[in-house]
Each structure stands twice: as structure tokens, then as C-alpha cells.
Amino acid sequence: MGYVDEVLDLVSKKNADQPEFLQAVTEVLNSLRPVVEANEEVYRKNAILERITEPDRVIMFRVPWVDDKGQVQVNRGFRVQFNNAIGPYKGGLRLHPSVNLGIIKFLGFEQIFKNSLTSLPIGGGKGGSDFNPKGKSDREIMAFCQSFMTELCKYIGADVDVPAGDIGTGAREIGYMFGQYKRIRGMFEGVLTGKGLSYGGSLARTEATGYGLLYITEELMKCHGESMQGKTCVVSGAGNVAIYAIQKAQQMGAKVVTCSDSTGWIYDSEGIDVALLKEIKEVKRARLTEYAAARKSAEYHEGRGVWSIKCDIALPCATQNELLLEDAKTLVANGCKAVCEGANMPTTLEATEYLQNNGVLFICGKASNAGGVATSALEMSQNSERLSWTFEEVDAKLKNIMVNIYHNIDDAAKQYGMEGNYVAGANIAGFQKVVDAMLAHGVC
Ligand code: NDP
């Protein structure tokens, strides 16, 4: 049995109850086969694959908090510090009832390669809780965030581990967590990113993941003789990534006709009205039925269905495993040219293979949504030098990073004879830098 298969076997046995983590490891290791085969002796001797698939540490803790009725509630908190070979751990905090150890490990594992691809000095980590922020009062959110940080603050720091937002963790939650860290540790430092502008946040961080997704999509199209102008896009999600992806796509001259949340989706033949969507999702925190009620050209549908709409470009921006094989078949049948992931692992393995085998240009999330973490690293730089850069400065750096990521993953795929396979290119380019550092550090 080859080294990759041996390690896949080992990881499957050790983590049988973590399907999302196994899915991510399987995708990454399979696409690394040519690199591993070319360096098998060194990697095997140094147990590189066994080490890179085992987190440095997993922290799990109780999060007790008091609800508005005076009842004590208990959630489970997680922080997985996966790999700090190239910099302090960095990755978001997800607050969603579906959160479990396997999901956080999958996200932390992916984060290693994504962070490496940004070319900035950040390692891989991820955290969160099974807390459901939906329907909670501001006071309840604060109570949860303070309790969560009371435990988490023992394990993080500006040069150790710098968490950020993710699903369910936006500016409000980051603010409460930062306040609690400052209070307990007595330190004002860049320990979290995604902070408010009045206390060390970076301009353009809010927009970064969605904008970055469109910068790399534009470069992909350009390198295939196309542009964004006049293209029809379908987007899933209606959160941070989706909103700013829609906004940038429209600024580039594309028409975005869908968005979705966990209960339903919108088809808007006139193109999504971003100002209205922002008002409903960012201000009122309401459902998409309100969007349809306010706009004549919009239809609301229950359940899932954005991939059934004919498009040139599909941008999944909601959550993992939301684009399935049957959706991939529909996209191909409808003439879709490109799928670029805004969310983390939104496309299943079978759907990814189907798209790639049927000529659809496909960029995986660890490359195409890296703009968020890259801008978080730029926030860390600004905090370290105690300066703030202008929106234009940050946005220009973001664009440059995304264009470079495209060319790095394209080159890596070509170097190993897999031209056009951007999944392999992203995994290879991200992996090589981390492995070089791991080898340099010796056995640790
Ligand atoms: P938000 O919480 O702002 O938005 C998530 C959106 O996806 C919401 O519209 C939500 O609907 C929908 N959604 C969440 N879970 C499900 C589900 N199980 N089924 C269907 N829809 C769902 O999160 P973000 O926009 O920040 O994150 C979206 C994705 O992008 C995630 O995969 C995240 O890990 C990834 N990402 C985010 C980055 C960032 O900077 N924010 C950076 C890199 C990746 P509802 O409101 O109904 O729950």
C-alpha cells in the first residue's frame, strides 16, 4: 500500500465518527499523491502525513451562561489548534447548532493550506460552539460570548492563536469576546480579527471574503478569455460572504439572480438588490421572505434550489456540502462555465469530480475564499504597527493576494501535470510551504 493510502486508512480508523474531517483529509491527500510520491522517502521517515493530519491540540470546554428567564444553559466550546509551522494559529469561530468536533477539525485542517496559500505567516486553527445565536437577545449573546471567552482566553494571544468570525460570529460577537479578553487578560492586543473599526479592526475586512472570491473568479475568467461583464451568476447564502460576493459581482458587470438562507431561496430576475438584502440580513436579522415581500421581481421558494437556475457562474457561499452531485449535473446541463467556492467545502467530492470531468472551471474554497483570512492577517499587521490603512490600500493588497493565489495554484497544477485542476493546485501549493517549515523545525 502506498504512503497516502496507509495514512488515509489510519486517519479513517482513528476518526471514524468525523465524516466531514475524513472528507477533507481524503480530498487533500488524494490530490497530493504526485508530490508525496516524488518525496516519499523523506515524508515517510518524518511522518509528515501522520503529523499534518493530527492537530497540535484540541481544546474542548463547557460554556455555561444564563438566559433571559434566569435559566442556566450549557453549550460545548471548541478550539482546534491544528498546525503552527508557518505562523500563529488563525481561523474563525463558528456558532451553529451543527458544530461538533469533526466539523471544527475539518475546518481547521483546511485552514492550514488556505492560510499558507495567502503567502502570509499564519498557521491553521478553528473553533466555535454548538450555541445557536438565532432568536437570542443581545444580552443572551453577550452572556454566551463572555463565558466562551472566559475559558478560551487561556489558550490564545496575538502571537499564539488569533481567532476570527465565521458562521454565526459577526462584528457583535467579536466585540463582546474582545471586551471579555481585555478584561480578564488586562491586555489590549490584536487577539481577534474582524474587530470593529473603533478598536483595531481593518477597513475592508467585512467585504474581504466576498470581494476576494470575485477577484479570483475574475482572474480565472480572464485567463480563459472571458470577463465578468454580462455574466449571470447564482449565489447561495445570504450572510457575510454571499452579500459582498453579490455586491462585487454586480460592480464587475455581472447579474446575480439568486441568494438563499437555511429555510429558502430567492430568484430575482432583475438581479439581487444588495441594499435591500443587507437591510434584511445585517440590520433586521430577518428571513428572506421579507426580501420577496419588498420586491416585485423576486420569487421566494422554500427549501433548496439555487443550482436549478441557468447560469454562467455558480458561487456557493452558505455552508459545507450544499452543492450535491445532482446539482452539479444540473449546472453542467445548463451550461455553467465556472464554480468558485465562497464557503468552506460547499461542494461534495462527487459533485466536484463531476464538474471537473465535464469541463467546468472549479476553484475550491481554500483558494477562492482565502481573501477573508488574508485580510485578517492584514488586520494583524496593522495592529502590530498600531496603524490603520485606508480601504483602498487594503482592497488593493487583497486583490493582489487573490490574483497571486490563482497563478500559484495554476502553476502548481501545471508543474505536476494536472493543468486546470485547481483543487490539486491549491492543495499542493499550500502543502509545500507548510512541509518545508515542518522539516526545518525537526520532530515536533
Ligand atoms: P454567515 O453566518 O454570515 O452566513 C451564512 C449563510 O449561510 C446564511 O445565509 C445562512 O442562513 C446560510 N446557512 C448556514 N448554515 C446553513 C445550512 N446548514 N443550510 C443552508 N444554509 C445555511 O456566515 P459567512 O457568510 O461568514 O460564512 C459562510 C461560509 O463561508 C461558511 O462556510 C464559512 O466557513 C465560510 N467562510 C467565511 C469567511 C468569512 O470571512 N466570513 C471566510 C472564509 C470562509 P441562515 O441565516 O438561515 O442560517
| Domain locations in the chain as residue ranges | 1-54, 55-189, 206-368
The answer, yes or no, to whether any atom of ligand 1 lies below 6 A from the CB of 347, is no
- Side-chain half-sphere exposure of 335, counting CA atoms within 13 A: 5
Q: Is residue 127 a contact partner of residue 79, using CB atoms and an 8 Å limit?
A: yes
- The label of the residue with cell 487577539 reads 191
In the predicted model, what is the mean pLDDT of residues 24-40? 96
366 catalytic residue (yes or no): no
126, 136, 248, 399: the active-site residue:
126
Atom of ligand 1 nearest to the CA of 320: 32
* pLDDT band for position 178 (cuts 50, 70, 90): very high
- The label of the residue with cell 480565472 reads 220
Q: What is the dihedral of CA 354, 357, 358, 359, to 10 degrees?
A: 130
Tell me whether domains 55-189 and 206-368 share a fold. yes
> 167 alpha carbon to ligand 1 midpoint, in Å?
5
Residue whose CB lies within 8 A of the most ligand 1 atoms, among 94, 166, 236, 306, for a mutation test: 166
What per-residue confidence (pLDDT) applies to 1? 84
- Side-chain half-sphere exposure of 102, counting CA atoms within 13 A: 16
CA distance 5 to 8: 5
What per-residue confidence (pLDDT) applies to 26? 96
Tell me what the pLDDT averaged over the chain comes to.
Answer: 97
Q: Report whether pLDDT(395) > 90.
A: yes
Classify domain 55-189 at the CATH class level: alpha beta
Separation of first and last alpha carbons in the chain = 26
* pLDDT band for position 184 (cuts 50, 70, 90): very high
Q: Is residue 97 a contact partner of residue 130, using CB atoms and an 8 Å limit?
A: yes
Among protein residues, the one with the nearest Cα to ligand 1's atom 17 is 262
In the predicted model, what is the mean pLDDT of residues 215-242? 98
To the nearest whole percent, how much of the chain has pLDDT over 70?
100
In the predicted model, what is the mean pLDDT of residues 38-55? 98
* pLDDT band for position 227 (cuts 50, 70, 90): very high
CA distance 434 to 419: 23
In the predicted model, what is the mean pLDDT of residues 167-173? 95
> 39 alpha carbon to ligand 1 midpoint, in Å?
37
Q: Is residue 288 a contact partner of residue 300, using CB atoms and an 8 Å limit?
A: yes
The answer, yes or no, to whether any atom of ligand 1 lies below 6 A from the CB of 166, is yes
- Ramachandran sector of residue 193 (left: φ over 0; alpha: ψ -120 to 50; beta: rest): beta
> 343 alpha carbon to ligand 1 midpoint, in Å?
7
The answer, yes or no, to whether any atom of ligand 1 lies below 6 A from the CB of 240, is yes
> 242 alpha carbon to ligand 1 midpoint, in Å?
8
pLDDT tens-digit series, residues 264-316: 999 999 999 999 999 999 999 999 999 999 999 999 999 999 999 999 999 99
In the predicted model, what is the mean pLDDT of residues 29-43? 96
Atom of ligand 1 nearest to the CA of 194: 40
- Side-chain half-sphere exposure of 305, counting CA atoms within 13 A: 10
| Segments of 187-340 assigned E as strands | 232-236, 255-256, 258-260, 264-268, 298-302, 313-316, 338-340
pLDDT tens-digit series, residues 349-375: 999 999 999 999 999 999 999 999 999
What per-residue confidence (pLDDT) applies to 72? 98
CATH code of the domain made up of 206-368:
3.40.50.720
In the predicted model, what is the mean pLDDT of residues 15-23? 97
* pLDDT band for position 393 (cuts 50, 70, 90): very high
> Comparing C-alpha atoms, which of 160, 3, 120, 112 is closest to residue 435?
112
Residue whose CB lies within 8 A of the most ligand 1 atoms, among 106, 110, 241, 324, for a mutation test: 241
Residue whose CB lies within 8 A of the most ligand 1 atoms, among 213, 319, 401, for a mutation test: 319
In the predicted model, what is the mean pLDDT of residues 253-265? 97
Helix (H) or strand (E) holding 93: strand 89-95
